[in-house]
Amino acid sequence: MDDCLFCKIIRGEIPSFKIFEDDHAYAFLDINPFGRGHTLVVPKFHADQLFRLPPEELAGVMPAVQRVATLLRNRLRCDGMALMQLNGACAGQTVNHVHFHLIPRYEGQPAGWQPLAPVPAAQELAALRDEILGR
Ligand code: AMP
Ligand code: ZN
């Protein structure tokens, strides 16, 4: 898909704070995070919604979802992990390329379902990426 935002990120045409990549999946920090470490895991195969993602592509991306969730938990020492996937504008979907939100959660902190304010600066996200990757 030439004009899909996440396809452009996967191809490297738009910069991202990359966390993980394999043959089937690409993961990067969400720039409007609901919580510290909020990461998106996307299949490299373009499908707008879960209903149109071929099952074999879904099977290809889910190990990356688990692997990135584990990486976030280990590096950020979070207590829990939310996994969210939205389909359709009425569900809150804004980017029409299937994606899985991983949102680290912490004891004693409210589990908000909206972007943190203020939105983190690029420098902060770069530092967080490095922390997650153990750089
Ligand atoms: P959804 O509402 O489920 O479609 O989620 C789309 C997500 O993509 C939102 O959480 C946005 O903050 C995030 N997003 C949009 N553009 C970018 C981008 N260029 N880099 C990283 N995350 C993005
Ligand atoms: Zn796409």
Report all structural domains of the chain as residue ranges with CATH numbers, in order of start. 5-133 (3.30.428.10)
Residue 25 contacts residue 60 (beta carbons within 8 Å): yes
What is the position in ligand 1's atom list of the atom closest to the CA of 86?
3
Query: Which ligand is nearest the CA of 97, by number?
Result: 2
Q: Six-digit token pair at 15?
A: 């910069």
What is the position in ligand 1's atom list of the atom closest to the CA of 99?
3
Query: Which ligand is nearest the CA of 7, by number?
Result: 2
DSSP codes joined into one string, 21-68? E-SSEEEEE-SS-SSTT-EEEEESS--SSGGGS-HHHHHHHHHHHHHH
pLDDT tens track for 89-116: 999 999 999 999 999 999 999 898 999 9
Peptide bond into 54 cis (omega under 30): no
Report CA Rg, the chain. 14
Active site residues: 99
Q: In what order do the strands lie in the sheet containing 18-21?
A: 18-21, 25-29, 39-43, 100-105, 80-84
pLDDT tens track for 54-92: 999 999 999 999 999 999 999 999 999 999 999 999 999
Is the model's pTM score more than 0.85?
yes
Q: Six-digit token pair at 87?
A: 């389909």
